[in-house]
A and B are shown apart, each in its own frame.
Chain A
């Protein structure tokens, strides 16, 4: 999973967090997909999931605060997308716990996470940057 410069929206804090998210998710998927026996890599998977859960919440909050600051008209819709994603992740986490981190379930979660994050950052979040540019908002103040 490759971070690309074109994913930058021109807001320093958000871009830094996106890049970090890509790095973490990429590491996570690398671990999930590695040939190492499932039991051996499970502790790393759990640790990365715990980190991502907190990081995603922080990132979503910062991104929503920035959108509010620039009066982004898509804020409510964007917040709904974040909330839906958080709910889906919470559902998966509950299932992980109920099934003892079933490998197939974690594989499915990883595939969804991969596609969701690319679309969110490369597609949906770009509109925030485009709006900010039109408003001539000073990007580096966030």
Chain B
């Protein structure tokens, strides 16, 4: 997978965290796990010149803190309000990533986010891991994208 595709997604995530949450984000070199089992795993599909999935894995503490920042309210459990807010954040990041990819002449559409309900979720085989560390905790992106011939 080309580095510019990963960077388009990374840039979008970094921008959205900054704009929406006032939270700084950097790539993390410590890889502890791919997906969370106590938080929220939300996936989105890309179709077009590139096709595949991006799985966002938010550990519980990061998820709660993100929605606390947005709402100004204390959050203590991952309920449908929180999952829905996070799904929209994922939708926004991927929409912005699709815009960033146009710079490389790659046009993609995204599908609505889906929440993985599996108690033992797994990332796709051969996906690339993009671990992020933010001021409010870790977020893991598992990216699997294939180029389609035009």
Chain A residues at the B interface, C-beta cutoff of 8 Å: 1-2, 26, 29-30, 32-33, 104, 107-112, 114-116, 118-119, 122-123
Contacts and interface: CB of A to CB of B under 8 A. Distances in A.
Interface in B27-79: 67, 70-73, 79
Interface of B: 15-16, 19-20, 67, 70-73, 79-89, 92
Contacts of A115: 20, 70, 85-86, 88-89, 92
Question: Closest 3 interchain pairs by CB?
Answer: A111-B84, A115-B88, A111-B85
28 contacts: A1-B71, A2-B72, A26-B72, A33-B71, A33-B81, A107-B79, A107-B81, A107-B84, A109-B84, A110-B81, A111-B81, A111-B82, A111-B83, A111-B85, A111-B88, A112-B87, A114-B67, A114-B85, A115-B20, A115-B70, A115-B89, A118-B20, A118-B70, A119-B92, A122-B20, A123-B16, A123-B19, A123-B92
A29 B73 contact: yes
Given A107-B80, A118-B20, 5 more contacts: A1-B72, A26-B71, A118-B70, A119-B92, A123-B20
Contacts of A118: 20, 70
